[in-house]
Amino acid sequence: MAQRSWVGGRHRRRVAWSHLLPSAWSFVRGHRRLLPLAVAVLVSLALLALPRPQQVPAGPLTLTSAWPEASIVDSPARLSDGAIFTPLYHLDAATTVGTAPTEDRKAVRLVQRGGEGAARELRRLPEPATPQFGGFTSSGNDLIWAEATVAANGRGETVIWKMDWRSGAAPVALTSDTGDVVFFNSQYDIVVADGVVHWVAAARTADPVTEVRSVPLAGGKVSVQRVTGTFALSVWPWLVSAGTGQNAPVQLRDIGSGRTLTVPSQPSELVTCAAAWCRVLVLAGDAGPARLDLMRPDGTDRRRVAGGQVSASVTDVAILDRFEVLSQAGRDGSPTSSQVLMLYDLAKRRTVTVDTGVGMVLCRGGVLWWSTGDNEALAWHAVDLRTLT
């Protein structure tokens, strides 16, 4: 993998001009008729000596101009054996876990690819089992994920796995007692807190009930806590309801204390929340998007982020409680990779263009990654948002 970094900007030295003043005024005292000319000369000298304003780059603010020290890691889409690699999780900006087919296309491999491009196979599942990998998260050296397969009789199974990704130890199964797992394509699909792994499943009841299932990271028995309604995990111990504000109120619930917060919204708004921020899609009269706002779950600190032509690129709201990942249609790239990828910085209240000609966009654990190009030109790029200070 190649690492790109930019360091920009030059420092201009301030011209020292105060030493010109005494001699100029001495000249004026002896030649009063030249006073207007002398004043004009002094004013010109003063203007020339003033520090020049910084040049503002033309066009939209970009990642490189907003954060000159930002580092983007580029990697090809193919492994050394020619297989197409799809990154599903970044352990850091350069170390990735993803899937790749075997050469005969009869199996799917889960692969860890390092900063030097070296790949290590972690798991191999037969293609007829339609394997799916998701829920990736990490805690220290432990990588945790879920593996879903379908048996020949049509019965599905989901197993939670873990491994020490630094030592290279073989993965081990934590539990297959996962219930009817529900994932939302969120970085909180599986959450590790205080040495315990948590996920949600749908209870087999007539009315919606969410099962919050938990297993010790060291292994052991699965515990189940039931919550009435449909909820997703957020920052532990918070749950976020799957309502949008139109079909049902959006609620945040502390599973530990039972405290519940109902998010204020209007009928013309679609609301998605995390523990700290909510995304509000304001609809126009024709039910199309009018603008995108962010606000606190109690409705305070509301701000407009973008117009109706811009959409959220990832499920999660306000990554690291700071960055909203956005995209809009662009002209660069190919029919499948033509988005403009942007970040709205909550801390500085500004929108920054990350890249153009973008296809897929994902973000987990503070690392944002995206694809550009297609076919032979397909490539992946990643930046650790925690480094953007």
The CATH architecture of the domain made up of 61-387 is: 7 Propeller (2.130)
Those residues with Cβ within 8 angstroms of residue 12's Cβ, 6 or more apart along the chain or in another chain: 51, 52
Cα–Cα distances (Å) from 380 to 169, 182, 204, 353, 364, in that order, read: 27, 28, 40, 17, 15
Residue count (the chain): 389
- pTM: predicted TM-score of the whole model, two decimal places: 0.83
Cis peptide before 267 (omega within 30 of 0): no
pLDDT over 70 (residue 36): no
Local confidence band at 117 (pLDDT 50, 70, 90 cut-offs): low
In 3D space, the residue among 250, 244, 176 whose CA is nearest the CA of residue 213 turns out to be: 176
Residue 273 clears pLDDT 70, i.e. is over it: yes
DSSP string, 215-235: EETT----EEEEEES-EEE-S
Is the pLDDT at 37 greater than 70, yes or no? no
Q: E strands of 39-155, at which residues?
A: 71-76, 86-90, 96-101, 107-113, 119-126, 132-139, 142-150
Q: Domain extents for the chain? A: 61-387
> Is the confidence at residue 160, as pLDDT, over 50?
yes
Is 70 exceeded by the pLDDT of residue 5?
A: no
Among 40-54, 333-347, 365-379, the least confident range: 40-54
226-247 tens-digit pLDDT: 999 999 999 999 999 987 777 7
> Which pLDDT does position 186 carry in this prediction?
97
pLDDT score recorded for residue 21: 33
Q: Which residues contact 41 (CB under 8 A, 6 or more apart)?
A: 24
Mind listing the pLDDT tens digit for each residue in 274-323?
999 999 999 998 888 999 999 999 999 999 999 999 999 999 999 999 99
The mean of the pLDDT values for the chain is 86
Which SS3 state, helix, strand or coil, does residue 269 take?
strand
- Residue 22, pLDDT above cutoff 60: no
* Contact between residue 385 and residue 342 where contact means Cβ atoms under 8 Å apart: no
What integer is the mean pLDDT of 253-263? 94
Mean pLDDT, rounded, for 323-331: 94
Per-residue pLDDT band at 48 (split at 50, 70, 90): very low
Instruction: Choose between 183 and 46: higher pLDDT.
Output: 183
pLDDT in tens, 51-87: 443 344 456 799 999 999 999 999 999 999 999 999 9
Alpha-carbon distance of 48 to 97, in angstroms, equals 57
For range 87-101, the mean pLDDT: 95
**Average pLDDT rounded to a whole number, residues 24-48:** 35
Res 354 pLDDT > 90: yes
Q: What does the pLDDT average to over 156-184?
A: 95
